[in-house]
Amino acid sequence: MSPLAVVTHPGTVKPRDLRRWQKNEAQPVLACADCGVLIVDKLATADEVVTATAVEQRLHVGDREPVVMALPEPRQFRFGLCDACRQRRARAEEIIAKRPMLARSLGDKKYALSAIDAVLIVFDVLEQTGQEQLIDAKIDALRLALKNLSNAGGLARWSSRFAPVIKIGADPEQAGTHRWAHVTEAQLEVMRSDFAQYLRARTFRPEMVEPPEGENGHVALRGCLLCGVSRAPSTSRDDQPWGRLRSTQEAVLGGRGRPEKTYGYLCPACDKATDRIGGALGMNALEEAVYSFLEVSPKLGEFEFGRSRAEIIGLKAWCVTGQPPSTEAWAFLDGLGLEEIKKQLQKA
Ligand SMILES: [Zn+2]
Ligand SMILES: [Zn+2]
């Protein structure tokens, strides 16, 4: 038996009269806007209004495979909301009410509610427990859930078959015999895999990773070329936080000028600093990396005549010092008195 029941009542309109039917707000079938289940409660209201702008149609051109096109066709549909979906939406409201910052960072409250509810829909469809735990979850856990689940959850809504585009096969005279009856096996598969991905991401703990050995016969130094840190945190399971292999010459980083190239990697902090000044590895990148480490931003062009930056006398990159790498960034600069330098630069 088809999971979708076409419910016909005496005197209901035929699809060709749909526009009139929608306009007259006669409700031959009231489906839940989210799970699509037939709402049998006679007093239920159809106050979930969705607006379609186009309708999908298969166009046959010659002998070729039919192409699906969306043709403009503004239309409105009205749905209801079953008790279970109403409760789930209330939970989404609760989650957002507790975190006004999250709503703001997502854009507006309406969008945030819809995105969080989409996350909860995945729990709902897959019959996963844990919706309640999300109410008090840390904001990072919620962001992970949003990133991994909101897309598939949103697409599972019954109403998404009618708006913004009326999908092929979507029939407003249908409703589900049970909740989520319209969700296809392919959709379920995506949801299960997204959910597994979400669980893996949630239990991920960053690992401290050493720089790669090098490549193409070029042996990399064992610390960040600029700050000398020996380990960097990975941001995901397969993440290699050290970026690409770089080459430099000692002379451009405060060294004596050995002609051979030096090979190695940049830690994420030094990589970002280098990017900020245009990507070239040199004294400007080195200073920018030190400043961001010290959390200072001396004004440009004021410190010393003829120089565009406040310069730290005697500054060298770790890769030219010959010192061993350290678990602490910039440990080799201790001799220069970093705290004192910071104070001076804050004045600059
Ligand atoms: Zn429902
Ligand atoms: Zn570094």
Q: So what's the pLDDT on residue 302?
A: 44
CA of 323 to the centre of ligand 2 (A): 14
Q: So what's the pLDDT on residue 7?
A: 42
Instruction: Please check whether residue 43 lies inside any domain of the structure.
Output: yes
pLDDT tens string 182-216: 999 999 999 999 999 999 888 877 788 999 999 99
Instruction: Please check whether residue 104 lies inside any domain of the structure.
Output: no
Least distant ligand from the CA of 241:
2
Residue ranges making up the domain that contains 59: 4-83+121-128+152-202
Q: So what's the pLDDT on residue 256?
A: 80
Q: So what's the pLDDT on residue 315?
A: 86
User: What total number of domains does the chain contain?
Assistant: 2
* 238 Cβ neighbours under 8 A, 6+ residues apart: none
CA of 224 to the centre of ligand 2 (A): 5
Same domain for 295 and 195, yes or no, is no
Same domain for 237 and 340, yes or no, is yes
Q: So what's the pLDDT on residue 206?
A: 77
Instruction: Please check whether residue 89 lies inside any domain of the structure.
Output: no
Pairing relationship of beta strands 232-233 and 208-209 according to DSSP bridges: antiparallel
Same domain for 187 and 262, yes or no, is no
Angle 251-225-303 from CA coordinates, rounded to 5°: 65
The C-alpha atoms of residue 314 and residue 29 are separated, in whole angstroms, by 80
Average pLDDT of the segment spanning 331-348: 78
Same domain for 165 and 286, yes or no, is no
Same domain for 213 and 198, yes or no, is no
Instruction: Please check whether residue 91 lies inside any domain of the structure.
Output: no
pLDDT tens string 214-253: 999 999 999 999 999 999 988 776 678 998 999 998 888 8
Q: Which of 170, 202, 234 is the last residue of a domain?
A: 202
Same domain for 171 and 226, yes or no, is no
Q: So what's the pLDDT on residue 4?
A: 52
Q: So what's the pLDDT on residue 258?
A: 75
Same domain for 262 and 311, yes or no, is yes
Q: So what's the pLDDT on residue 92?
A: 96
Same domain for 290 and 328, yes or no, is yes
Average pLDDT taken over every residue of the chain: 85
Least distant ligand from the CA of 288:
2
CA of 208 to the centre of ligand 1 (A): 45
Average pLDDT of the segment spanning 280-291: 90
pLDDT tens string 91-123: 999 999 999 888 888 888 999 999 999 999 999
Same domain for 289 and 338, yes or no, is yes
Instruction: Please check whether residue 248 lies inside any domain of the structure.
Output: yes
Least distant ligand from the CA of 120:
1
Alpha carbon 59 to its chain's center? 36
